[in-house]
Structure 1
Amino acid sequence: MDIAPATARAELTFRDATESDVPALVDLVESAYRGDASRAGWTTEADILQGQRTDADGVREVLSTPSGKILIAQREGEPVACCQLEHRGEAAYFGMFAVRPSLQGAGLGKVIIAEAERTAREDWGASEMHMTVISVRQELIAWYERRGYRRTGEMTPFPYGDERFGVPQRADLAFELLVKPL
């Protein structure tokens, strides 16, 4: 079933995450990126990374950052998507973006990223949104490019050996910075 973005927006409510949301956020992020459950959606990293995408401590770290927050999208009181936002001077950082795999491809991602951009622009006065994406994720990068993000060619090495970020299944992983003017 295809949900138009306007319909998807009407069904969603947005709020900032709190400590009580940590278990649900870990489950949501893990389900969207790792393991067999993530294969129900199209954003899975299961073929390039094994292990965890995040854990409770990682989510709490984001929540405790004074200049950041996690935005939750809910439908009927249940978290269906989330993203990390961090105010970094003139820019905002966008990360930990997850949509429940069974709902991916229905237009929710467009709605959530638009709300994140609106929040960064209106609440923080940010003029740009920054994000990093694993450079071999061509389909995902193309999705962001269709939303106005541009590849910068600026790469950061993947933290090989630090299993907090997963267990790489290939040797060519790096993060590329994508930027969008707000």
Structure 2
Amino acid sequence: MRTGIRVAGAELRRAGAADVGALVALVNSAYRGDEARKGWTTEADLLEGQRVDAEGVAELVASPGVLLLLAQDAGGGPVACCELRGEQGGDAYFGMFSVSPTAQGRGLGAAILAEAERIAVEHWGARRMTMMVIRQREALISWYERRGYGLTGERAPFPYGDERFGVPLREDLEFVELAKELRGP
């Protein structure tokens, strides 16, 4: 993967072991607690606690089948990240997508998503990008639909009882799959 790609005023690069702490702070601030309420992507009304932990993020960074991308603003601070997984010629998976609440609304998320799609095609020859989103996140699902993703009908249970993923505030959480056909170069 090329490094130092500019997207919406930020530099996008592959994250490394030295970035784990910054990634954990970014992801948790984008989804949980009072900081997350400053943006529109919060899950704070659905879940409390952490979204990710250092051990899990370190495993992703070290995994040979994963590209963990980090976007930094001009001052070097992390403003967004995402996880990409893929298999040659098959589907790519897009996850852990986080944009700092203070950086939302300037087109950064859409630009990173588009770049992630391009990377998946270039790196793995991916024909389709999939993701899992909490079903109750209607505004987020609509945002993805405006970018060409659609619900596939696949569902997965929320991991109740595993506080590594947060403490649910509702008993009806579940994931739904979204997918988009990708075009090659």
Contiguous gaps of at least 5 residues in structure 1: 1-7
Which amino acid is the alignment partner of residue 41 of structure 2?
T
TM-score by length of 1: 0.93
- Equivalent residue pairs, number: 175
> Would you say 1:102 and 2:114 are equivalent positions?
no
* Structure 1 partner of 2:33: 35
Counterpart position of 2:148? 148
Large movers: runs of 4+ above 2 Å: none
| Partner secondary structure for residue 95 of structure 1 | strand
* C-alpha distance in structure 2 between counterparts of 1:124 and 1:82, whole Å: 19
- 1:116 maps to what in 2? 116
Q: Distance in 1 between matches of 2:109 and 2:154?
A: 25
Structure-2 separation of matches of 1:57 and 1:148: 33
Distance 2:87 2:41 in 1: 26
What residue number does 2:15 align with? Answer: 17
| Contact preservation (8 Å) 2:87, 2:124 | no
Query: After the TM superposition, which residues 31-70 of structure 1 pair with which residues of structure 2 at under 5 Å, given as runs?
Result: 31-70=29-68
Q: Alpha-carbon deviation of 1:63?
A: 1.1
SS in 2 for 1:106: coil
For residue 75 of structure 1, the aligned residue among 70, 73, 76 is: 73
Q: Name the amino acid aligned to 2:134.
A: I
* RMSD over equivalenced CA pairs, Å: 1.1
Displacement of 1:11 after TM fit? 1.7
TM-score relative to the length of structure 2: 0.92
Question: Per-residue CA shift, 1:5-48, capped at 9, x if unaligned?
Answer: xxx83522111000000000000000000000000000000000
Q: Which letter maps to 2:35?
A: A
More helix by share: 1
Q: Could you tell which deviates more after superposition, 59-68 or 91-100?
A: 59-68
Amino acid paired to 1:17 = A
Structure 2: gaps (5+ residues): 1-5
